[in-house]
A = this chain, B = another copy of it.
């Protein structure tokens, strides 16, 4: 049996649509990794999103939250689908996602955008712009207009975007720490020529990086310019730090550099080592149940979990290389190529490379 510090308790919330399918792939791969690298993993499966609404009437049952609080990490599949679209806001699957972020204090969302030469051909962006792209998008995840007051009175609607210096400070520290392990450059994205919260972002990031990370360079960019530069010079970015809504838009735009959403992992971190890991793609109801979902984003997400929350660095490295080896060997899914293979075939190909059978 593995030593105590190699015995990990995690919660899985497979969710809706293709969520359970890519989660099944994750289980198989975690199994292979745990035997090969001698760690143990206990998975507590819980409900979220539409699945939770159907079973309990609540997109994020208390039991799920309680279980997460006892775990080292959470693995999330995807939430949502047309079945629940007509529900009122508080009872929609997305509320489960927003509430789990907020209740678990997952304020720091990491979306790495790394291009791989074999995959250049799938991007709408010209290959010559894609070489060397390695952007870490750090998105604030529990503040801003997502969580501010909402008002509706007759024909008038309002949303409040609110940030405190503390909220900006803690995510800036995470960005600073990351930058120190990378190329030490942060571009902070805002709209400070127009909005007040953005001015606070500029002030606080200047202070935190200036005082605590003197070796890190900090630049500021307006969000409209950032939306252009992500296309005109994507390889120029190292860490991109931004608020919740801008991070949502820019990270989805940036995902196009990699060719398919099906390839993009994410981590949402709290203070300490706790984090929630999920593929960036959604529940993809149109292809759910067919066994053809691309599991790479989920597998890259478990690599992030192994690295950042479980400290199983060797296993994380091995999984990352098994995945890029698969890409180089042309193990691709239907979202990328017409002759693509299904979820299980990818899972097996990754496992074969992990066990040295390929």
Contacts and interface: CB of A to CB of B under 8 A. Distances in A.
Interface of A: 89, 92, 94, 98, 124-126, 129, 145-146, 148, 150-152, 155-166, 191, 193-197, 199-200, 223-225, 227-228, 230-232, 245-246, 248-253, 255-256, 261
Contacts of A151: 196
Nearest to A157: B200
A94 to B, nearest CB: 5
B249 A223 contact: yes
B166 A155 contact: yes
Nearest to A94: B193
Nearest to A280: B224
A191 B98 CA distance: 14
Contact of A124 (B157, B165, B224, B232): B232
A117 to B, nearest CB: 16
Contacts of A250: 227
Contacts of A157: 162-163, 196-197, 199-200
A71 to B, nearest CB: 26
B126 A228 contact: no
A194 B125 contact: no
Contacts of A225: 252
A191 B158 CA distance: 13
Given A152-B200, A161-B145, A253-B253, A194 B228 contact: no
Contact of A224 (B146, B148, B193, B249): B249
A67 to B, nearest CB: 25
Contacts of A256: 228, 231-232
A245 B222 CA distance: 12
A119 B296 CA distance: 36
A155 B246 CA distance: 21
A225 B248 CA distance: 10
A247 B128 CA distance: 28
A47 B211 CA distance: 42
A227 B228 CA distance: 11
Given A126-B124, A200-B152, A161 B161 contact: yes
Nearest to A161: B159
A265 to B, nearest CB: 17
Nearest to A201: B157
13 contacts: A98-B194, A124-B129, A125-B125, A126-B126, A146-B195, A150-B196, A156-B164, A159-B160, A227-B250, A228-B253, A228-B256, A230-B253, A232-B256
A131 B21 CA distance: 36
Contacts of A166: 155
